[in-house]
Amino acid sequence: MAGSRAAPKTEAEALVEVFWRAFQGLTRKQRALFLEKWLSEDPQLAEDLGDILVAYGRRSEPTRPLEEVLQDLEK
């Protein structure tokens, strides 16, 4: 969230902004400890974040039609 970011419009957005700013204020070690605790307490979230990171890492790859992927899975 850059300095030119618009002000939050909803209560939920404002709360997210508070937590985001607090997280940014942590040291690298504190961030790691926070994430470790958070993810260990919510395995589904850990799995979802893993999926997001994979997709983010592959965002520059060309896309493929679903039919092609399904055909490859059948092989």
List pLDDT tens digits, range 29-73. 999 999 999 999 999 999 999 999 999 999 999 999 999 999 999
The answer to whether residue 56 is domain-embedded is: yes
State the helix-helix crossing angle for 28-41 and 43-57, rounded to 10 degrees. 120
The structure's pTM equals 0.57
The answer to whether residue 5 is domain-embedded is: no
Domain of residue 24, residue span: 11-60
Please give the Cα distance from 26 to 33 (Å, whole number): 10
The answer to whether residue 68 is domain-embedded is: no
Q: Is the pLDDT of residue 5 over 90?
A: no
Closest to 46 measured CA to CA, from 57, 62, 35: 35
- On the 0-12 / 13-18 / 19+ scale of CB atoms within 10 A, 4 is exposed
Q: How confident is the model at residue 1 (pLDDT cuts 50, 70, 90)?
A: very low
Please give the Cα distance from 31 to 58 (Å, whole number): 25
3-state SS assignment for residue 26: coil
